Structure 1
């Protein structure tokens, strides 16, 4: 009796842990879609697992001293019910996974063909041994080892590699995509929380693979605009200095002795 009560309390506690648990907020729409799918599958898998385990424990407890076992009696109704329930669960899992896999923030093919629905930041990503280069389209701004993104705005990455296969991986964003030489791949995200995150290469690319990291910084829109303006100002200053240096050098070459 105590053994049965213990199992009942274990079942109740496990269900309560799932129902009342509050997972941490996702940092991007990608991560939110993945977490939602995992939560849906957990609601299905945990009760089913506990039910099977309880039936197994009950069978062991109930029949472990059976000195005269008999063959199991056919029960067509039970077999049909069990098969139909299994089929319904598989259909639910398949539909849930299908909607996530067709999400343009998850599947590169969908991200590549999805038309723009609004404002979007486009960034060209160059992966090389052993670092990253991020070029912000239509701005002239290029950063190395630091990726700055605006909160709440769609970001589209167009990625390529300079020599071997790499993979961009931002765990907190749920972004992971292989990057190939001489070929463009696309990834999409929309950060939902400001902060600093880590970016890794998830494909073994050589002896310096472990050092191929970068920092992802998510800013509010106003802070992002200010940062972008600052970077463009520095770029203009550098361009002007280079122009002055070039002109001075040319003038010194043509000036008569």
Structure 2
């Protein structure tokens, strides 16, 4: 009866490990997040069977030799050693190949400076971090804002990231995006967004007393909504310029 109980406990433990390691089915919101999630699944699918096999061997060994008061050295078994070495090499080859496929992808890897092969339909945004806020400039659209980073879905996104004062970072966990913002340097972060919604952007580098409040929002919208937002921003900037000019003229007219 004791052996049966031990067997049941072992099976329950192994099933718990497998269920705990099962990856989430939450849909990815960007190409970057999709690549990272796929790599995690591939590594888990490799790691879980190995972990289960090791635990089974361990439990069997504890049960099989539980009463062995005179242990003897294991005999040399070259075939087993060769098999184990080859199996380990294959596992490492799989891990290296899968990791390289994800980490070398343009949507995951980052490069310094500006890219010369930006697609014509790509959205380029200059992101500048400073204590303790972000500034977003759309050079091709002539729009600048420090409130929300608005981006369209299903288009290539190129973020040129730098900082004005100290080291900051641009971190959007739900989109799989993270890149340091370093004064005097520009890091390029590329991705493509696959779902609309609002996502939290925050600094992941300790950058001063206001670090905890250095937050912003990434809003992913449809193409039509994005174009409408750009028009609204341009109209708002034009109104502000007109009001400023009128104020300056009025102030100048009051002078003797």
| TM-score (norm. length: structure 2) | 0.91
Larger mean Cα displacement after TM superposition, 71-80 or 5-14 = 5-14
Which one of 239, 242, 245 corresponds to residue 244 of structure 2? Answer: 242
Q: Which residue of 2 aligns with 1:201?
A: 203
Which whole-Å CA distance do the structure 2 matches of 1:61 and 1:174 have between them? 45
Go from structure 1 to structure 2 and tell me whether the alpha carbon gap of 1:110 and 1:52 turns closer, same or farther (over 3 Å shift): farther
Per-residue CA deviation, residues 152-189 of structure 1 (Å, 9 max, x unaligned), is 11111111111101111000011111111111111112
Structure 1 residues 91 and 113, CA, compared in 2 at 3 Å: closer, same or farther? farther
- Tell me the secondary structure at the aligned position of residue 246 of structure 1: helix
- 1:171 aligns with 173
2:65 maps to 63
3-state SS of paired residue (1:152): coil
Distance 2:113 2:40 in 1: 22
Deviation at 1:142, TM superposition (A): 1.4
| Contact 2:112 2:185 (C-alpha < 8 Å) held by counterparts | no
State the alpha-carbon separation in 1 of the partners of residues 89 and 113 from structure 2.
31
Mapped to 2, the partners of 1:67 and 1:114 lie a distance apart of 71
- State the number of aligned residues: 253
CA contact (8 A) 1:200 1:213 kept: yes
Q: Aligned to 1:4, which of 4, 7, 11?
A: 7
1:228 aligns with 2:237: no
How far did 1:249 drift?
3.3
Deviation for aligned residue 1:248? 3.5
What's the CA shift for 1:18?
A: 6.2
1:117-159 deviation digits (Å, cap 9, x = unpaired): 4511111111001111111112222111311111111111111
Decide whether aligned partners of structure 1 residues 206 and 99 sit closer, same or farther in structure 2, where only a CA change above 3 A counts: same
Separation of aligned partners in 2, 1:16 and 1:172: 23
Asked whether 1:141 is paired with 2:143, we answer yes
Determine if the alignment matches structure 1 residue 96 to structure 2 residue 98.
Answer: yes
TM-score (norm 1): 0.90
The residue aligned with 1:73 is 75
Alignment of 1:21-170 (within 5 A): 23-109=25-111, 113=115, 115-170=117-172
1:5 to partner: Cα distance:
5.0
Deviation at 1:242, TM superposition (A): 1.8
Instruction: Work out whether residues 112 and 187 of structure 2, in 8 Å CA contact, stay in contact via their aligned partners in 1.
Output: no
- Which residue is equivalent to 1:187? 189
Taking only aligned residues, the RMSD between alpha carbons, in angstroms, comes to: 2.2
